[in-house]
């Protein structure tokens, strides 16, 4: 009898062990839900990001990541939510977006230190006053040249024209153009025509940008620029002159001088080294480029301004340019086929 009782005890213990293995522990992880859904309510500068979070009945934390690439870089505020069983959908509104620009976004859910990101989705902001499309500028300005013309259309949409002294119209004619508006922390890529505030920085180092500005008589003027980053400004008074200030590049190496025994030609090449160069083409517009040592006022021309170690070089391929030498305080008229170097102080 004792032997039978002992055997029964062993069998019961084994059965309990099997049952314990078959039943998951109470603290087993519950799968998280993070489903990115399409963005809605898209305007030229705002959008609503949508997603589904879970599991139902759990208190999770969720937020949305968004930016110009799938690396994102910006996120909405993280919010805690006890997920209802029937409506697990959530949303977040974002603003301050660049018009006519592609954005990436996704939802992220966290629970008890575990994070689950949703899949990447994209949306495109609209032109001002439109939803999700780039359009054309009104006005009679036009840029010359072989690049794609300003004012490419998408249906019958229209981008608001530039406002004298307040906004300038920009559009990518070729390559990649980036924009940094006053107050922005970084650059955003431009994918369609859009107005930006006066004082914005345009990075045209990897592309050609169409630039359109307003004139006092209600018309517009246009030009193309490439090769450098520059800040664009226009006063709300006067004749509509638009000023471009070259930005970027390092001049640290310009102050050092080659050793005394180095060849003269080595020093000469160093002083002529280009730090930044902006090419421009306009059609009788009112544009003025500012280098370190010279200001060039164009008169319907094709020209370039190069900031070098030894000064600012203005070269004219077509038309005329009035160059103001800021070091020697004189103005020189440079015609097609000629150039002028405003030398740096020695």
Token duo for residue 342: 């405003």
Asked whether the beta carbons of 191 and 102 are under 8 A apart, the reply is: yes
Distance linking the first and last C-alpha atoms of the chain: 114
Residue 6 dihedral angles phi and psi, to the nearest 5° = -65, -40
Residue with more model confidence, 295 or 285? 295
Give the count of beta carbons closer than 10 Å to the beta carbon of residue 307. Answer: 24
Q: d(Cα 222, Cα 183) in Å, to the nearest integer?
A: 26
Query: Which pLDDT score is estimated for 29?
Result: 59
Architecture category of domain 33-124 in CATH: Sandwich (2.60)
How many angstroms separate the Cα of 223 from the Cα of each of 226, 237, 327? Answer: 10, 20, 28
**What's the mean pLDDT in 53-73?**
90
Tokens 């400004």 belong to residue: 233
- Higher model confidence: residue 24 or residue 302? 302
- Give the model's pLDDT for residue 45: 78
Residue 19: band (very low, low, confident or very high) from pLDDT cuts 50, 70, 90: very low
- Select from 215, 250, 245, 210 the least CA-distant residue to 229: 245
Q: What is the pLDDT of residue 144?
A: 33
Alpha helices in 145-300 (DSSP H): 264-271
| Ranges of each domain in the chain | 33-124, 136-250+259-343
Contact predicate 323/290, CB 8 Å? no
pLDDT at 185: 83
The reported pLDDT for the residue numbered 62 is 95
Contact 313, 334 (CB under 8 A): no
Lowest-confidence range among 97-101, 122-126, 131-135?
131-135
């Amino acid at each position: 009898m004792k032997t039978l009782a002992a055997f029964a005890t062993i069998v019961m213990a084994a059965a309990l062990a099997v049952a314990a293995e078959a039943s998951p522990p109470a603290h087993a992880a519950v799968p998280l839900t993070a489903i990115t859904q399409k963005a809605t309510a898209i305007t030229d500068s705002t959008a609503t990001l949508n997603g589904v979070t879970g599991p139902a009945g759990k208190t999770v934390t969720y937020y949305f990541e968004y930016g110009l690439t799938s690396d994102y870089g910006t996120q909405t505020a993280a919010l805690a939510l006890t997920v209802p069983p029937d409506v697990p959908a959530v949303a977040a509104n974002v603003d301050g977006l660049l018009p006519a620009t592609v954005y990436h976004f996704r939802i992220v859910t966290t629970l008890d230190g575990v994070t689950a990101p949703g899949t990447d989705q994209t949306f495109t902001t609209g032109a001002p006053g439109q939803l999700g499309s780039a359009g054309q500028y009104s006005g009679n300005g036009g840029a010359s040249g072989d690049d794609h013309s300003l004012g490419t259309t998408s249906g019958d949409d229209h981008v608001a024209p530039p406002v004298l002294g307040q906004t300038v119209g920009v559009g990518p004619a070729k390559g990649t153009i980036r924009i940094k508006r006053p107050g922005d922390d970084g650059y955003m890529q431009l994918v369609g025509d859009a107005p930006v505030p006066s004082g914005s920085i345009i990075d045209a180092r990897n592309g050609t940008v169409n630039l359109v500005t307003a004139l006092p008589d209600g018309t517009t003027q246009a030009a193309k620029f490439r090769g450098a980053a520059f800040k664009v400004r226009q006063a709300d008074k006067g004749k509509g002159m638009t000023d471009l200030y070259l930005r970027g590049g390092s001049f640290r190496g310009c102050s050092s001088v080659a050793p005394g025994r180095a060849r003269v030609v080595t020093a000469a090449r160093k002083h002529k080294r280009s730090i930044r160069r902006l090419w421009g083409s306009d059609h009788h517009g009112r544009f003025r480029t500012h280098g370190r040592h010279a200001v060039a006022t164009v008169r319907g021309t094709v020209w370039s301004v190069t900031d070098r170690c030894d000064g600012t070089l203005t070269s004219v391929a077509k038309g005329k340019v009035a160059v103001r030498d800021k070091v020697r305080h004189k103005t020189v008229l440079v015609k097609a086929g000629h150039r002028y170097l405003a030398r740096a102080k020695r």
